[in-house]
């Protein structure tokens, strides 16, 4: 395969909203990798498509959400079309149902600020202080909140949380369309 073919494949593969490259015309990744590895270290691939250049730039952009007032972390980060939240807690000290509802409401806000919503959830990690007594009440709130047509994969475990009044912590990832 020639470098021009590799360049054309990259242009077609990276351009968003344009014609999809059919599998039968797509070179194998090993061939593409081998051809691209022959480029000299200072070689530059130039693309004529402005939308391609813009797409590549957007893929490397990192958007940090909720950094004000927290010197240690962002509340969420968006990169390459994926939003990842921190472990969201409710430090108010309410009961498990109240903490779960407050956390999920905060997750809704983070998703909206990142340009997505709960229908785009990919994963959810849930940590409960006491899984034996807490799973049922948490799960009832979760089922009422989640988009039943677009359920993410989910893990729920018992953990010792950072503060004694914390009963639950939830972290999610979502696609950003």
Inter-residue contact 84 to 116 (CB < 8 Å): no
Inter-residue contact 122 to 155 (CB < 8 Å): no
CA 76 vs CA 63, 93, 169: distances in Å? 8, 23, 14
* Structure confidence by residue, pLDDT tens digits, 49-95: 555 555 555 557 999 999 988 889 999 999 999 999 999 999 998 99
What number of H helices and E strands is found in the chain?
Answer: 5, 6
Inter-residue contact 101 to 135 (CB < 8 Å): no
Count Cβ atoms within 10 A of the Cβ of residue 55 and give its class: 0-12 exposed, 13-18 middle, 19 or more buried: middle
What residues does each domain of the chain span?
Answer: 3-59, 62-175
* Structure confidence by residue, pLDDT tens digits, 7-55: 555 555 544 444 444 444 455 555 555 655 555 555 555 545 555 555 5
CATH number for the domain formed by residue range(s) 62-175:
3.30.1330.40
Task: Give SS3 for 124.
Answer: strand
């Amino acid at each position: 395969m020639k470098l021009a073919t590799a360049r054309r494949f990259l242009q077609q593969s990276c351009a968003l909203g344009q014609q999809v490259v059919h599998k039968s015309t797509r070179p194998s990744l090993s061939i593409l990798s081998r051809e691209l590895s022959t480029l000299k270290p200072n070689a530059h691939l130039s693309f004529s498509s402005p939308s391609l250049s813009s797409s590549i730039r957007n893929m490397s952009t990192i958007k940090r959400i909720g950094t004000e007032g927290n010197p240690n972390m962002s509340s969420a980060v968006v990169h390459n079309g994926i939003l990842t939240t921190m472990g969201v807690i409710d430090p108010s000290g309410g009961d498990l149902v109240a903490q779960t509802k407050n956390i999920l409401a905060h997750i809704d806000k983070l998703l909206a600020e990142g340009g997505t919503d709960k229908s785009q959830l990919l994963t959810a990690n849930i940590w409960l202080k006491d899984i034996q007594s807490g799973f049922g009440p948490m799960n009832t709130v979760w089922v009422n909140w989640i988009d039943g047509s677009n359920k993410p994969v989910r893990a729920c475990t018992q953990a010792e949380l950072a503060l004694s009044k914390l009963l639950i912590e939830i972290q999610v990832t979502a696609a950003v369309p």
